[in-house]
Structure 1
């Protein structure tokens, strides 16, 4: 490429010379020039009329040197010509131009991280169009910007041209990508309530750690800084710091441009609690007492704007139910600096009579309009409620279908009408995931999942999954319609096929079936699901007790399991009530979950039973939220009807209920059977407690520790004496199905890695039976890539 030249420097020199030359030929600055003819020379593609339009000088009239210079600048600034000269000669003004060459091809050199086709979509210079040095420089800047957004601030892009015959050039962008510009340190100035480590965990941006090769959030991206500021603001204000603000964000790049140091300068302000809380009405005929009942703000609680917003939504909903349109709920806050409390008054005021003329939706190419509209409680003709429009936009963002959602209003046809413009930017909603899992007992497993959460743009969810492990295989299909019949009614259909092959036991199992149900809200934080299940569950390959002719030893499993072999159908109706305090988000430090379920089998099928289960969980953060406490309690019971006995696949096994024990490692067991297989129980309970805390390591390593203590039991069989041994004499089995409490304590190590979250459990059983099977160590890993 010996004839390649720099477009920018050479063209600047040429431009300077061509500007100076005509000015030298113009008479003195004070003199005037008159011409009657214009001669255009050098143009090949550009029409003379186009050149005359840029020239824009009158014929037969006095033209000053300034007028000629302005005309020259207009022609030069058109971007059509490489050089321009104006030569006055008698009554003729000669315009000499040299057109820019045409771009023959566009090429990229040196790029490895971004493909040619990706870069071609960025540049606006195109083949077979006129070459523009300014556009080429702008294209180079855009390419550099894309590299910078990926953390390569040291990237350099130089546009160069190669001359070809026929006034053509090849445009080549030479790219030097450089290394990733990682964030070596994120610091804070002005924080007293929370440590740097805690605040760094709040941010989307992360520091570079030992896994910097895999983690992409440790590369600097200016676009993430506004998001980080909002995350910090939301974090502080939800914890009582009403005056918090980010005063400045100072990113500094190292001299080598290979590292960034980011400092957030913040002002925490005092921590406030709610003081006096009351409701007043400034609307004649509206009783404030009715609205006060909707208040969720309690005196003495830590200030949280979410609690205020929830109360306003409840009050506005009550006003709409009562037919009180255009009633606004205005929160009025009075600060008490001395005792750091906020007196809060909810004022019911008369708002302006404005209606929604229409809602215009743009930007959705896949998602149907109805999927977007159903997130709006407001429709055309309704009273305009700005808060409801903002809440609707937040609900749209929470769907995960869009990378950006903007809802803005503008004046409608009449002064009392507004038009709501909803602009969305869609993002991919489907994923194909390959994964691996590991457990000490289950071994290595692999899984494949194909999911789409906006199927055909209808907002429906589809998931197809396959998983295999040591001794187990499972597959399933799930379809969810979140707005069945156009209402907040979630319809679900599930299909599954699961098998186990001697998984810590001397028998095989198979389960195939489907379940369908409807779920709907019954309050702000609780939901109710109604469902129907049909399945066929099979227990097979149970070895009958006998004497091995070669060893002379007794082998085989319990007669109880042997008699329960075969497949049977279960047809059941059920319901689940669930409560989750996290839905309302009123308390960021504490959360509670409750679930109660019952399934009634006997609507056809072979099994007649009532299965009841309950779950309660709590999570709390303390010590500046660096320590997390978790507690879970769950219990279940299978009650057989019509004098039926429960079967193995109906009963509870205790798998995963208590740490420190293998799957099928505790519970009722036939001690007379050689294999001593677990039989499962009709009842179980489990209590799990845990505390998680930092270990003092840099948070970018993703390592923290934990301690846990578990207790529980599985017990109860319908019939322990009905089975006979190998002689057929009807001798009672030695079955222990008592409610013996098992307990274990241990320590955990959590490590967040690019291949998935790893958890190392080290456990010691404190209370157990002699026949229980312990598991002192367990490593679990689950990942998708």
Structure 2
């Protein structure tokens, strides 16, 4: 054979071997990262350059040739080096498009001027249909949602494998651990294919028993309690849901067990030596054996700080709170050193003074067998200042409304505490999704500055209610109301701002109308500006008119002016509010002795409050405390109604574990007269029981009917009193924290009573109740409460009944808190 011909055949063989890609194993089993192109070595072959005279593509069915060539980096007219990297790089680039399951490049023709290349491809098919066979427990619709494949999409190896893994994981998470799943791709005409999943469902597998070995410090029950997601079966789980085994959650549980049980109680060297999982003969029950090595229980010997210049070591030791003789607690060490929810840790001290680059390094040294020395080196760095504070996502609320709530101001030193407080203030506005307020902190080390961007998501703040109900006193009643919580008086003349009313300045506009039998009508209008004169000063007014006719006419008409201010002492969670109110009373809904036909009531109300709740809808921590003092008439004000009233309320929240929250509330109220002959309208007395929604102000107490708790006053047919006390305890858990529908469930226990005089108060004589409830915060509608409570004690309004049984209560707005 002529040497030139042998040389041409040699080059053709090199190219053919170089670019032939074969798949081993199941069809469509290889992902992109398995592609391997190896440059073969041929004896005596030297790299040579060839001019590319032409390129064509074969094997296409749905893709145009020009689209492939546009992605192929080798162009006609360019020079190609063989052997060389150009062709392998070109195939890798084409492979990354995820359009082909096989790619091969060969020389189709060679001339003295150059070579003609042919690219042979095999297209991935287009998904035409997904078929499940053998699925009995779950419908095809359920499984289609899990595989997350879309008809008409390219059916790549990676897409198939991901769908397979999602489907298998779904069955495992649902407790069908031994379910066998296989898949097959059957190509049809026109480059389309049907993906088949063959499912052989196993029996439901329950964790029957967890066996512990090697544990002495903790008993089996305690260790099982620390496994949050891996629980063994028992009688009540058979009723409410049998425990399933999830390998990933099991691995997480083991690590949490070591950290939260052992290393938080001195067992620094504790570890899990081994674990085994096995099944019963019928493969419906799963057993877990876990062997632990506990090691010795350690105590702290010495604590030493180094590198600190900003704070003295004695102060850091006091804040650190870990001292000689304390039991070693890894979790506490991390919290006190780097982060605690309350902010009382070493890192917070520095971060709150601008030391953003501060880093604490903890070194532990085991000494004398069961003691640990702690050496903490503080790398303080320099102070950072705020450069830019940006706001993002406030599509309805104006920038100045957001900025006036922020504690982070450009030019100030960086402070983590101020960022946390700013997030809390924005959440309290209730204009944004409180769960998704995200401060994005971007340090600039070169200039020792920081940019902060508050990422916000607006939510519906306005409420509209249209309701109907039935009352034993009023019969059928109705209500229509509008509350605009982010109103803008400034934009009231702008036509384009009406959506349906101007928004964005943080003002509140409220209009309510209630109506019912006996000419029952209540109409009220109120407006408030939370930030008057460019300061945290609240100004507002309200007007109202209430009319009823129970055989005798009763009318209350009045107006009020209010002013309030956020305080800086004792801290800036405090505020003080004053309200000046005038009310004209005509007649009365109940006729009592010495009642005038017309009475003027002038009142001053002072409220001192402190609110540190972290969320206005579903609070997890913080408190809300208030003391209200009202003076009507007396020696200070004109009018024919004379009394004074004190009401103290204290509500606080604390997390139990995760999102499970404990709430406790206590209330005390007292109404007094300046003189025995002073007249007080009955609606100023304390009434208790039911939902609190009534034609007279009523303190709610679930499990009892409306206004059934208290004492009968002379001339009154409704139990009431001048002193009241109430206590409530709740455990709350969120079902959904979506701002479009926030839902949480609760268990409650509460007790309260109303007494005639202060000397009659007996806290052992509370009317008690327990029950369950649900709270729903819905856009437009607001907060809605549904409670079902059992009242344990007799009440004077229902003589002869030892208890009040179960009562369903519906509440909304402030009554559903």
Query: Normalising to structure 1: TM-score of the pair?
Result: 0.56
Q: For residues 205 and 322 of structure 2, what CA distance do their matches in structure 1 show?
A: 45
Q: Cα 1:94–1:418, aligned 2, differ >3 Å: closer, same or farther?
A: same
The answer to whether 1:383 aligns with 2:416 is: no
In terms of mean alpha carbon deviation, does 154-163 or 648-657 score higher?
Answer: 154-163
Q: For residues 261 and 469 of structure 1, what CA distance do their matches in structure 2 show?
A: 65
Report the CA distance between 1:380 and its aligned residue.
2.1
Q: What is aligned with 2:73? A: 53
Report the CA distance between 1:530 and its aligned residue.
0.9
Q: For residues 219 and 473 of structure 1, what CA distance do their matches in structure 2 show?
A: 60
Q: Cα 1:629–1:457, aligned 2, differ >3 Å: closer, same or farther?
A: closer
The answer to whether 1:779 aligns with 2:812 is: no
The one of 98, 103, 106 equivalent to 1:79 is: 98
The one of 148, 156, 160 equivalent to 1:133 is: 156
The answer to whether 1:38 aligns with 2:85 is: no
Q: For residues 382 and 435 of structure 2, what CA distance do their matches in structure 1 show?
A: 32
Task: Describe the superposition over 1:203-245 as per-residue Cα deviations: whole angstroms up to 9, x where unpaired.
Answer: 9x99999899999x999998999999999999999xx979999
Q: Cα 1:107–1:268, aligned 2, differ >3 Å: closer, same or farther?
A: same
Q: What is aligned with 2:680? A: 646
1:376-775 matched pairs, under 5 angstroms: 376-385=406-415, 388-389=418-419, 392=422, 400-403=433-436, 405-411=438-444, 415-422=446-453, 424=455, 426=457, 428=459, 516-518=562-564, 520-521=566-567, 522-524=569-571, 527-532=574-579, 534=581, 559-560=591-592, 564=595, 570-578=601-609, 595-601=626-632, 608-615=641-648, 632=666, 634-639=668-673, 645-655=679-689, 656=699, 663-665=706-708, 669=712, 677-678=717-718, 680-681=720-721, 683-686=722-725, 713-715=755-757, 744=765, 748-751=769-772, 760-764=789-793
Q: Cα 1:652–1:764, aligned 2, differ >3 Å: closer, same or farther?
A: closer
8 Å contact from structure 1 (residues 581, 593) kept in 2: yes
Could you say what the CA RMSD is over the residues aligned between the two structures, in angstroms?
8.1
Report the CA distance between 1:560 and its aligned residue.
1.2
Q: For residues 261 and 568 of structure 1, what CA distance do their matches in structure 2 show?
A: 78
Gaps of 5+ in 2: 1-24, 133-138, 488-502, 690-698, 732-744, 777-784, 813-817
Q: For residues 481 and 797 of structure 2, what CA distance do their matches in structure 1 show?
A: 41
Report the CA distance between 1:613 and its aligned residue.
1.0
The one of 309, 319, 334 equivalent to 2:343 is: 309
Q: For residues 77 and 687 of structure 1, what CA distance do their matches in structure 2 show?
A: 69
8 Å contact from structure 1 (residues 84, 95) kept in 2: no
Report the CA distance between 1:771 and its aligned residue.
10
Q: Cα 1:341–1:141, aligned 2, differ >3 Å: closer, same or farther?
A: same
Q: Cα 1:311–1:62, aligned 2, differ >3 Å: closer, same or farther?
A: closer
Q: Cα 1:595–1:432, aligned 2, differ >3 Å: closer, same or farther?
A: closer
8 Å contact from structure 1 (residues 34, 62) kept in 2: yes
Gaps of 5+ in 1: 1-7, 543-557, 693-701, 717-737
Task: Describe the superposition over 1:457-495 as per-residue Cα deviations: whole angstroms up to 9, x where unpaired.
Answer: 767788999999999999989888766666555677778
8 Å contact from structure 1 (residues 435, 446) kept in 2: yes
Q: For residues 633 and 780 of structure 1, what CA distance do their matches in structure 2 show?
A: 22
Q: For residues 521 and 232 of structure 2, what CA distance do their matches in structure 1 show?
A: 38
In terms of mean alpha carbon deviation, does 45-54 or 184-193 score higher?
Answer: 184-193
Task: Describe the superposition over 1:616-665 as per-residue Cα deviations: whole angstroms up to 9, x where unpaired.
Answer: 659899x99x9999794613124369975111122333555899986544
Q: For residues 662 and 162 of structure 1, what CA distance do their matches in structure 2 show?
A: 70
8 Å contact from structure 2 (residues 640, 679) kept in 1: no
Q: For residues 591 and 780 of structure 1, what CA distance do their matches in structure 2 show?
A: 31
8 Å contact from structure 1 (residues 532, 574) kept in 2: yes
Q: For residues 450 and 208 of structure 1, what CA distance do their matches in structure 2 show?
A: 51
Q: For residues 341 and 571 of structure 1, what CA distance do their matches in structure 2 show?
A: 71
Q: Cα 1:466–1:631, aligned 2, differ >3 Å: closer, same or farther?
A: same
Q: What is aligned with 1:352? A: 382
Q: Partner of 1:426: helix, strand, or coil? A: coil
Q: For residues 464 and 269 of structure 2, what CA distance do their matches in structure 1 show?
A: 40
Task: Describe the superposition over 1:339-392 as per-residue Cα deviations: whole angstroms up to 9, x where unpaired.
Answer: x99999999998614333323455665665556655643322223345645665
Report the CA distance between 1:777 and its aligned residue.
2.0
Q: For residues 468 and 227 of structure 1, what CA distance do their matches in structure 2 show?
A: 57
8 Å contact from structure 2 (residues 101, 123) kept in 1: yes
8 Å contact from structure 2 (residues 575, 610) kept in 1: no
Report the CA distance between 1:691 and its aligned residue.
11
Q: For residues 367 and 471 of structure 2, what CA distance do their matches in structure 1 show?
A: 57
Q: Partner of 2:673: helix, strand, or coil? A: strand
Q: Number of aligned residue pairs: give it.
A: 685
Q: For residues 372 and 749 of structure 1, what CA distance do their matches in structure 2 show?
A: 41
Task: Describe the superposition over 1:653-686 as per-residue Cα deviations: whole angstroms up to 9, x where unpaired.
Answer: 3555899986544656466x7xx614745x3243
Query: Normalising to structure 2: TM-score of the pair?
Result: 0.54
8 Å contact from structure 1 (residues 519, 528) kept in 2: yes
Q: Cα 1:346–1:451, aligned 2, differ >3 Å: closer, same or farther?
A: farther
Q: Cα 1:376–1:592, aligned 2, differ >3 Å: closer, same or farther?
A: closer
8 Å contact from structure 1 (residues 596, 614) kept in 2: yes
Report the CA distance between 1:763 and its aligned residue.
3.2
Q: For residues 54 and 663 of structure 1, what CA distance do their matches in structure 2 show?
A: 85
RCO greater where, 1 or 2, for CA within 8 Å and sep 6 or more? 1
1:1-150 matched pairs, under 5 angstroms: 36=51, 37-42=53-58, 44-47=64-67, 49-50=69-70, 52-53=72-73, 59=79, 61-63=81-83, 74-81=93-100, 84-88=103-107, 89-91=109-111, 92-97=115-120, 100=123, 112=141, 131=154, 133-134=156-157, 136-137=159-160, 140=163
Q: What is aligned with 2:6? A: none
Task: Describe the superposition over 1:240-297 as per-residue Cα deviations: whole angstroms up to 9, x where unpaired.
Answer: 979999989x999999999999999999999999x9999x9956xx9999x99x9999
Task: Describe the superposition over 1:19-69 as per-residue Cα deviations: whole angstroms up to 9, x where unpaired.
Answer: 99xx9xx998986898654341436343574365158997575448x9867
Q: What is aligned with 1:733? A: none
Q: What is aligned with 1:547? A: none
